[in-house]
Chain A
């Protein structure tokens, strides 16, 4: 990991610690109503800390791309303010954009151009002098160096996505937006992408990514925001979300059905399913309490002679929490 980080050399050298507490991005009451009347953002407030990896989770049409577009200059907001690096991005748009990188959701570039030329082009467009060594570094870190002279259309989809990333990294952004960076990418490439993101984090790059793979947010993010229908439902540290909303579920398949939950087990959150053949535990939090209680239950049941023929346990993932949130089941919890 460390040598990867070294190879990536992103935005190297600024004194990260000095700015640690100043938000790198501060979005206030952001609204966007498209011409057709679709209200894609309904007063979004969001603060991103320097150096963090922030995952924006939301179903299709939640407004993730619109939110990113508003910060990056692709979408004209209809209300609210955005400050990046402590400055209003409408007033100081050139300075802000200089330090922001964007990898959009769709693959979009001149397919007939060569890989290395497109990356050089991006660097130049952001006003930086040519730096072949840096371009090589970026291409190598994304395993694109061997393909540098290939026409982009000849590359596989995953490779094309890497070219998009290489373009976005070519000007050493301090704030990087990845709009579904791993959509349509196979498992191996996805893990590889996570390593890239880790290496960027090591360089102090702040990353905001959107994803449908909750696994990805769980794996990568420091903080998670859930957005639905243009509103942020929840923003918190990933671990805190898990602790607050995480659940363990265990199914004990009983050898002989029972009519009621046995009295010795009454202090646990249990209920019966399938006409008393299945004893279901649903409880705990994201800290492992659930697992402990299930282990206790198993011991008590063995001691009391309550025979079970099978046991299934499952910890709720961020995905379950996310689904519950979006379906409105957890509105109070948030």
Chain B
């Protein structure tokens, strides 16, 4: 069974075009939100704070805020991407075409991940105008951003398949990801938390994601980078496995 690369690319390109039809809102709004956080917490308040290790507070929260945006945007973009054809009925074409899991994932998840990468670049560029920060390990940072974008686009894809209404698309990003990210050390090091909250925080998976990205930016974080990378990849594989099962069983796809 050969891979229908042309089909995968057609889906990918169609998805990117669909996203860029609404690019103005969908890129601009997260960029503005992130910029506001940076101005208020990073430049205004954080300008007077310095963290252990001589890191400015602004530079400390840049990777945290970037992670917040990546998680919510990747998830909601990918979920919306696959939910829309389900909603309009256009999914019939996907189901009747010679495309399988691989082509569909390359198309939908690839496009959502690419959009997240573009978003990350715009956010980092905007942040540079507001805050003075450096990226200690640029290549690793890029790889990590890519990994997180792909992983959460996969999660979004699953949510989009699962969702039976528009409101469900927003539940996970708003009610799960957003709070977990806020509590996951976007704005603080969990070492600053008093017990028992510090121990509770260790059960929040997003803590490892935020710290992973922070490590690539600052060269230091609450955990070793290997732990963060390992956790992210494990999550990615879990998502792929779930999606594989979905396609095999036809759940929420085929009657």
Residues of A participating in the B interface, judged by any CB pair closer than 8 Å: 32, 34-35, 66, 69, 72-76, 93-95, 97-98, 100, 102, 104, 106-113, 117, 120-129, 167
With A110-B18, A128-B6 given, is the CB distance from A97 to B98 under 8 Å? yes
Q: Is the CB of B100 within 8 A of A94?
A: yes
CB pairs A–B below 8 angstroms (8 shown): A75-B254, A102-B96, A108-B88, A109-B89, A112-B21, A122-B97, A125-B7, A126-B7
B residues less than 8 Å from A74 (CB atoms): 92, 95-96, 254-255
Is B93 in the interface zone, CB < 8 Å from A? yes
A residues less than 8 Å from B13 (CB atoms): 124
Per a CB cutoff under 8 Å, which of B4, B21, B84, B255 touches A94?
A: B4
Q: Is the CB of B98 within 8 A of A126?
A: yes
Task: Give the distance in Å from the alpha carbon of A94 to the alpha carbon of B2 in the complex.
Answer: 9
Of chain A, the residue at the smallest CB distance from B255 is: A75
Q: Is the CB of B98 within 8 A of A121?
A: no
Per a CB cutoff under 8 Å, which of B21, B84, B254 touches A73?
A: B254
Of chain A, the residue at the smallest CB distance from B254 is: A76
Most central of A35, A93, A94 by chain B CB within 10 Å = A94
Most central of A34, A76, A124 by chain B CB within 10 Å = A124
Q: How far is the CB of B88 from chain A (nearest CB, A)?
A: 5
B residues less than 8 Å from A112 (CB atoms): 21
Q: How far is the CB of B52 from chain A (nearest CB, A)?
A: 51
Is B139 in the interface zone, CB < 8 Å from A? no
Q: What are the 3 closest A-B residue pairs judged by CB atoms, nearest first? A: A124-B10, A108-B89, A94-B98
Q: How far is the CB of B20 from chain A (nearest CB, A)?
A: 12
Q: Is the CB of A124 within 8 A of B6?
A: yes
Is B90 in the interface zone, CB < 8 Å from A? yes
B residues less than 8 Å from A75 (CB atoms): 254-255
Is B142 in the interface zone, CB < 8 Å from A? no
Is B9 in the interface zone, CB < 8 Å from A? yes
A residues less than 8 Å from B98 (CB atoms): 93-95, 97-98, 126-127
Is B238 in the interface zone, CB < 8 Å from A? no
Q: Is the CB of B93 within 8 A of A127?
A: no
Is B55 in the interface zone, CB < 8 Å from A? no
Q: How far is the CB of B107 from chain A (nearest CB, A)?
A: 9
Task: Give the distance in Å from the alpha carbon of A127 to the alpha carbon of B89 in the complex.
Answer: 21
Q: Is the CB of A108 within 8 A of B92?
A: yes
Task: Give the distance in Å from the alpha carbon of A112 to the alpha carbon of B95 in the complex.
Answer: 21
A residues less than 8 Å from B89 (CB atoms): 104, 106-109
Per a CB cutoff under 8 Å, which of A108, A111, A124 touches B9?
A: A124
Interface string of B66-108 (1 = CB under 8 A from A): 0000000000000000001100111011111111100000000
Q: How far is the CB of B188 from chain A (nearest CB, A)?
A: 42
Q: Is the CB of A100 within 8 A of B96?
A: yes
Q: Is the CB of B14 within 8 A of A127?
A: no
Per a CB cutoff under 8 Å, which of B2, B10, B95, B250 touches A121?
A: B10
Is B17 in the interface zone, CB < 8 Å from A? yes
Q: Is the CB of B11 within 8 A of A125?
A: yes
Q: How far is the CB of A160 from chain B (nearest CB, A)?
A: 12
Q: Is the CB of A97 within 8 A of B254?
A: no
Per a CB cutoff under 8 Å, which of A94, A109, A117, A123 touches B90?
A: A109
Interface contacts beyond A69-B255, A73-B254, A109-B93: sample of 17 additional A-B pairs, CB < 8 Å, sorted by A? A73-B96, A94-B4, A94-B100, A100-B96, A102-B92, A102-B96, A107-B89, A110-B18, A110-B85, A110-B88, A112-B21, A113-B17, A117-B17, A120-B10, A121-B14, A124-B10, A125-B10
Q: How far is the CB of B92 from chain A (nearest CB, A)?
A: 5
Of chain A, the residue at the smallest CB distance from B10 is: A124
Q: How far is the CB of B147 from chain A (nearest CB, A)?
A: 28
B residues less than 8 Å from A106 (CB atoms): 89
Task: Give the distance in Å from the alpha carbon of A151 to the alpha carbon of B89 in the complex.
Answer: 17
Is B129 in the interface zone, CB < 8 Å from A? no
B residues less than 8 Å from A73 (CB atoms): 95-96, 254
Interface string of B232-255 (1 = CB under 8 A from A): 000000000000000000100011
Q: How far is the CB of B12 from chain A (nearest CB, A)?
A: 10
Task: Give the distance in Å from the alpha carbon of A123 to the alpha carbon of B7 in the complex.
Answer: 8
Task: Give the distance in Å from the alpha carbon of A100 to the alpha carbon of B18 in the complex.
Answer: 26
With A97-B96, A125-B93, A127-B7 given, is the CB distance from A109 to B18 under 8 Å? no
Task: Give the distance in Å from the alpha carbon of A330 to the alpha carbon of B7 in the complex.
Answer: 48
